[in-house]
Amino acid sequence: MHIYLSLLTIAVLHTVFPSTTSAQIAGPKGDLIVVGKIDTIHSDILGEDRAIWVSVPESGIFPDKKYPVVYLLDGDAHFYSVMGMIQQLSTVNGNSVCPEMILIGIPNTDRMRDLTPTYVTEAMGDALFNETTGGLVNFTSFIENELMPFVESQYPVSPFKMFIGHSLGGLAVIHTLLTRPYLFNSWVAIDPSLWWDDRLINTMSDSLKHKSKYADESLYLAIANTMPEDMTVDKVVKDTSMNTEHIRSILEFSDFANGKMKSNGMEFRSKYYDAEDHGSLPLIAEIDALKYLFKWYAFGFKDLEKFMNPSSTADTKEFVDLVNHHYKGVSDHFGFQVLPDERMINSLGYEFLAQEKSELSFVCFEMNVMNYPQSSNVFDSMGDYYMTIGEDTKALDYFSKALAIEEVPLTREKYETLKKK
């Protein structure tokens, strides 16, 4: 089997990844900002110990809360950036573009072995391929039969899973999608190396590709500009040179996915990034993928305008119906119940309280108390509500409940101040 080599190929196969062994950042005084932890699992399938890098949302301390899981290939290269994106898009600045998620980064021990589906003996006579290849089936079995059960036993995970890979990692994502579509719900392939083994992915048997059903699954395919300067997308599909084999193989698969996979229920989008090359693409593509794949997740704040309008006469039932309808849709997408976001509902409660819309404010705080009884903050907020409308006895009761869950100085101060009245 012959595989072309180019500067791009060499970059794809022999990218040097950081050898970081700690998911921590040291501050100027030696204090640590902890962004995750490193676990180790022994794999009988691979015959070795494997490290995994893990990030759990801060709200993961609540015992009943479950999170979708992102499994990230080349974890030692992309862990920090993907973790930051998830945090930014799920919590920072009031964002709810995507949900909070547990991130499982899978660092490499033998990248060529684990991320390639077939054994290749030569590549145009180049010695680059004089190393292990073709171990992807075993690696995928490790993920399915050893890693996933371990993660599910150790962390508060929900059934929803996402798989992200770049380059050879993207090849692994697409191969797994075609051979084990049940493993993940959402898939992100970033400039995948689909030229591997004479376009193996694009020449796999029709029986393998067409029998699978992809209902309730979604794929985001990101394509870098790896063409020569004088080439365009329209021209490249007709080209036959080795220099364009990489992008042509991806465009060919994109056509297949847009046709056969979509007709079998797949939610699919591909995007060509003219200004990004193979190495620069992951950062921006990962952001776009999260926004696209969770386009149904964020609450439609335009729908809230009628409630925010000072002259609005919208009632509490209409508001509750709006919230419940949205989160029923989110739950349907995930395949399990998703409660209205505590932070968002809490913020709305205070916004309504500031506008003297006490009934809407109460509904928000009550909703959080019912949905998140393990959170001291929801009782503190209800205490603020009663204190604002002048019902100090009820305010004291809720501040007391908040303090029973967690001792928070501000809550304590409000409680003691009211007691002295």
pLDDT 10s per residue in the chain (421 long)?
A: 233 333 344 344 444 333 333 344 445 566 788 889 999 999 999 999 999 999 999 865 556 788 999 999 999 999 999 999 999 999 888 788 999 999 999 999 999 999 999 988 765 345 555 478 899 999 999 999 999 999 999 999 999 999 999 999 999 999 999 999 999 999 999 999 999 988 888 877 555 555 677 888 999 999 999 999 888 998 898 888 888 999 999 999 999 999 888 888 899 999 999 999 999 999 999 999 999 999 999 887 777 888 887 777 778 999 999 999 999 999 999 988 899 988 889 999 999 999 999 999 999 999 999 999 999 999 999 999 999 999 999 999 999 999 999 999 999 999 999 998 8
Minimal CA–CA distance to 70: which of 151, 153, 172, 176?
Answer: 151
CATH architecture for segment(s) 7-293? 3-Layer(aba) Sandwich (3.40)
Burial annotation 314-339 (CB, 10 A radius, 16+ → b, else e): bebeebbebbeebbeebeebbeeebb
The domain limits of the chain are 7-293, 301-419
- 326: which 2 tokens? 């949205």
How many helices (H) and strands (E) the chain has is answered by 19, 10
**Taking Cα atoms as reference points, which of 265, 271, 153 lies closest to residue 210?**
265
Distance CA 225, CA 238 (A): 16
Distance CA 64, CA 137 (A): 35
Distance between CA 20 and CA 247 in Å, rounded? Answer: 31
Domain 301-419: CATH architecture, name and number where available: Alpha Horseshoe (1.25)
The phi and psi torsions of 157 (rounded to 5 degrees) equal -100, 150
